[in-house]
Chain A
Amino acid sequence: GEDVEQSLFLSVREGDSSVINCTYTDSSSTYLYWYKQEPGAGLQLLTYIFSNMDMKQDQRLTVLLNKKDKHLSLRIADTQTGDSAIYFCAEKRDTGRRALTFGSGTRLQVQP
């Protein structure tokens, strides 16, 4: 997990936007993913972005990729209490090894 870093905790108020950040070190990353994990549950794939893209939007979710700085962010618009969870970013590297390298996860707490 040291190659993919995330802040551990983020607290926002309901209705605000949340921005979860992630940095990675391997320039050969081809895909970058965001997963959501609710307490006691498995991982839900939220979205992913190809490394040749700068931005991807999907309803309330916006992913921004700065390949030069190796920085990935996930913006959640109009954050709801149901968005409270741990969010993991993950990268897939262009090495033939198709498994993912995960960050440590960011716990998002949404306050009513």
Chain B
Amino acid sequence: SAVISQKPSRDICQRGTSLTIQCQVDSQVTMMFWYRQQPGQSLTLIATANQGSEATYESGFVIDKFPISRPNLTFSTLTVSNMSPEDSSIYLCSVEILGEQYFGPGTRLTVT
């Protein structure tokens, strides 16, 4: 299994500002994923982040809005840029280990 931590656990931000969310894993993993869960909704994949390469974004998500860093095999960051109230969501990072996919506790973001 994997232990995943995220910082911050929650934040309230003003529109137009940016927030960087950190994800730390207790073991080395090749692929990390960032998902968004809008209020009352299911999870939607934002991007896949491999160490040493550019993140791959899903349709509807762009690097300028959601830049991702992956400096090593245990850490990643997701930035939500120029926020609007529509960005209010839970943001979750995830890793795959031996076929099992584990999720962090999530970062609950509210944009006012």
Cross-chain contact A42 with B105 (CB below 8 angstroms): yes
Most chain B beta carbons < 10 A, residue from A98, A101, A103: A98
Chain B CB within 8 A of A88 CB: yes
* Per-position 1/0 for A1-29, Cβ under 8 A of B: 10000000000000000000000000000
Q: Does B53 contact A (CB under 8 A)?
A: no
CB distance from B92 to the nearest CB of A (A): 6
A-B interface contact total, Cβ < 8 Å: 49
The binding surface of chain A is classed by DSSP as: strand
B10 CB to closest chain A CB, in angstroms? 10
The distance in angstroms between the C-alpha atoms of A45 and B4, with both chains bound, is 13
Query: Which among B13-21, B71-79, B93-101 touches the partner chain?
Result: B93-101
CA distance A88 to B44 in the complex (A): 12
Q: Which residue of A lies closest to B96 (CB)?
A: A98
Task: Assign chain A's interface to a size class.
Answer: 20 to 34
A55 to B77, CA, bound (A): 38
Q: Identify which of residues 18-48 in chain A touch chain B, using a CB-to-CB cut-off of 8 Å.
A: 31, 33, 35, 41-43, 45, 48
Whether A99 contacts B33 by the Cβ 8 Å rule is yes
Q: Which of A1, A33, A41 contacts B105 (CB 8 A)?
A: A41
Chain A positions within 8 Å of B100 at CB level: 45, 48
Who on chain A is nearest to B31 by CB? Answer: A98
20 contacts between A and B (CB under 8 A): A1-B44, A33-B101, A35-B103, A41-B105, A42-B92, A42-B103, A43-B43, A43-B103, A48-B100, A88-B42, A90-B101, A98-B33, A98-B96, A99-B33, A99-B45, A100-B94, A100-B101, A102-B44, A104-B41, A105-B42
Which B residues are within 8 Å of any A CB, using their own CB? 31, 33, 41-45, 48, 92, 94, 96, 99-106
A contact set with B: CB distance below 8 Å: 1, 31, 33, 35, 41-43, 45, 48, 88, 90, 92, 97-105
